[in-house]
Amino acid sequence: MTDIKWPDHLFLVGCGNMAGQMLARWLDCGLDPARVIVLRPSGKPVAEGVRVVSDYPAALPAGTTVLLGMKPYQIADVAASLAPLCGEETRIVSILAGTPLNDLRGHFPAARALVRAMPNLPVGIGQGVTALYTDAATPDEARAAITALIAPLGLAEWMADEGQFNEVTALSGCGPAFLFRFIDALARAGEALGLPADQAARMALATVEGSASMAARASDGPGALADRVASPGGMTREGLNVLDADDRLLRLLTDTLTAARDRGEAMARGG
Ligand SMILES: NC(=O)c1ccc[n+]([C@@H]2O[C@H](COP(=O)([O-])OP(=O)(O)OC[C@H]3O[C@@H](n4cnc5c(N)ncnc54)[C@H](OP(=O)(O)O)[C@@H]3O)[C@@H](O)[C@H]2O)c1
């Protein structure tokens, strides 16, 4: 990844779990730390060569891309200090969950390029998923530049409908936790059948990792792959019959995503 067109300057407002993962990946991919300023109240160091400040600079240089990475409820306070520093050319990417683009436009009226992003944690190893949304006010070249910035983080998906952000968050944002649970359950099921716990844990993790990589490379979808490896009357088919009975697994996951999505909607209403 040597030909990435990095922003001239990157200003991170907040650098905790999520923004910290994004920055770590960008630095791994060759972003010059001298182009980065991180604002965090604790002033805690972030990475070699990255300047950390605990208060806003007097100005942001031309060509700055801002990443909003603090908690969503802090947006009004942050905007009161940050918006006066943002000009027409400032590009703003927000990872604030549940904060619609129109609210962001209200907070940063001068900036034309405003993008809402929903990353997930594996962005730190370049295997994340980031949903993106913007409106017609964002110029095409800014949209392309932000796509290029997000690309080293893994899969980037532009959404046509901002109304689907809670659905996306339920699937890919919360998805890593659901998969961690699945891996753990696969291991514990092996243990229940009598395998040593440590061996079952290693085998479950490696099975999920290998199967996901294989599915990512295959021309068939994972549904077809499952059927292809299950011979009639064999062991795999017998196991699949349990997962497939009454769409048991599909219904379980639909219920799981629905619960997560509904919680996102309740939080957006202040619940
Ligand atoms: N975690 C996820 O999986 C995930 C996924 C998608 C989106 N998000 C979004 O990412 C954002 C951050 O979540 P997180 O889990 O990374 O939270 P976090 O670890 O608590 O990080 C919050 C960051 O904000 C900084 N901060 C606190 N007060 C601030 C202020 N007044 N002005 C500027 N910065 C301030 C903190 O500074 P210190 O470091 O000095 O404490 C910290 O760096 C949220 O908006 C969330 O919706 C998170």
**Per CATH, domain 175-268 is 3.40.50.720:** no
**CA 96 to centroid of ligand 1, rounded, Å:** 8
Measured in Å, residue 258 CA sits from the centre of ligand 1 at 25
Which residue ranges make up each domain of the chain?
A: 9-161, 175-268
Through-space distance between the first and last CA atoms of the chain, rounded to whole angstroms:
43
Mapped onto helix, strand or coil, the DSSP state of residue 218 is coil
118: its two tokens: 């929903």
Angstrom distances, CA of residue 227 to CA of 177, 189, 205, 230, 236: 26, 22, 22, 5, 9
Let me know: does 200 contact 188? Beta carbons within 8 Å.
yes
Atom of ligand 1 nearest to the CA of 120: 5
Q: Does the CB atom of residue 173 touch ligand 1 within 6 A?
A: yes
Q: Which of 142, 178, 176, 128 is nearest to 25 (CA)?
A: 128
pLDDT at 208 (0 to 100): 98
The pLDDT, as a whole number, for residue 268 is 80
Cα-to-centroid distance, 17 and ligand 1 (Å): 7
What string of DSSP letters covers 90-107? Answer: -EEEE--TT--HHHHHHH
Please give the chain's pLDDT, 271 residues, in tens: 558 899 999 999 999 999 999 999 999 999 999 999 999 999 999 999 999 999 999 999 999 999 999 999 999 999 999 999 999 999 999 999 989 999 999 999 999 999 999 999 999 999 999 999 999 999 999 999 999 999 999 999 999 999 999 999 999 999 999 999 999 999 999 999 999 999 999 999 999 999 999 999 999 999 999 999 999 999 999 999 999 999 999 999 999 999 999 999 998 887 6
The number of the ligand 1 atom at minimal distance from the alpha carbon of 42 is 40
Strands 113-119 and 128-133: antiparallel
Whether residue 55 has its Cβ less than 6 Å from ligand 1 = no
Residue among 84, 85, 91, 124 nearest 6 (CA)? 91
Using the 8-state DSSP alphabet, how is residue 172 labeled? Answer: I
pLDDT number for residue 1:
56
Spacing, Cα 74 to ligand 1 middle (Å): 9
Beta-sheet pairing, 113-119 with 51-53: unpaired
Ligand 1, residue 96: give the atom nearest the CA: 45
Asked whether 106 lines ligand 1 (CB < 6 A), one says no
Reported CATH class of domain 9-161: alpha beta
Which atom of ligand 1 has the smallest separation from the CA of 77? 31
CA of 18 from ligand 1 middle (Å) equals 7
* The pair of three-digit structure tokens given for residue 271, joined into one six-digit string: 């619940």
Ligand 1 contact via 41 beta carbon (within 6 Å): yes
Q: Answer whether 123 contacts ligand 1 (Cβ < 6 A).
A: no
